[in-house]
Amino acid sequence: MFTCTGYAATSADTRLEPFAFERRDPRADDVEIEIVYCGVCHSDLHQARNEWRNTLYPCVPGHEIVGRVTRVGAEVRDFKPGDLAAVGCMVDSCRTCTACREGLEQYCEPGFTGTYNGPEQGTGANTFGGYSSHIVVDRHFVLHVPEGLDLAGVAPLLCAGVTTWSPHAAGVRAPARRSASSGWAASAIWA
């Protein structure tokens, strides 16, 4: 385990405050990322304020994460320290249900593990998100980010951006149809 710093809500009606907590050291399939930027999604506000009535406190929000890899587990072949990497809304799933086997982990039948507010597979423990200095995630849920992009602009792609992109991707199969979508996202600097 190692100590991270972040911002946490400790109740529905308190401000986010500096918060120190422990993360696991990378397991064999894990990637450790030093977070450079984390977008601010409105879901973060709903969750911090317990507006969906399921918040586990302390709550460290943030699921639009981009940063640099600092450590990898022994079985990780496709990331190395120094690589840019990103994490979105999920950090794990059951891996065995029909949806997971089809690469649709967001529909995981027993339920996926959110980047924050858990539950961690197997233990049911809480998870802590990207308003923090580092995150450790199984490489299956880590994305590559090309060098040379504006990383502050990359962060919101991990939730708001992909939500906007998905209907367009689906629409590609129906060329006679036109589609449009819009989304709002803001990114916050984490230094």
Smallest gap from residue 87 Cβ to Zn ion (A): 12
Cα–Cα distance, 183 to 177 (Å, whole number): 20
- H-state helical runs in the chain: 42-48, 98-101, 151-154, 160-171
Cα–Cα distance, 67 to 73 (Å, whole number): 17
Confirm or reject binding of residue 94 to Zn ion (CB under 5 A).
yes
Confirm or reject binding of residue 108 to Zn ion (CB under 5 A). Answer: yes
Total of residues contacting Zn ion (CB under 5 A): 8
Q: Is 93 a residue that touches Zn ion (CB under 5 A)?
A: yes
Instruction: Assess 43 for contact with Zn ion (CB under 5 A).
Output: yes
65 binds Zn ion (CB under 5 A): no
> 142-171 mask for Zn ion (x: CB under 5 A)?
-----------------x------------
CB 68, CB 147: distance < 8 Å: no
Contact window for Zn ion (CB under 5 A) among 3-11, 91-99, 116-124, 168-176? 91-99
The Cα–Cα gap between 166 and 160 comes to: 10
- The single-letter code of the amino acid at 178 is R
Residues that bind Zn ion (CB under 5 A): 41, 43, 93-94, 97, 100, 108, 159
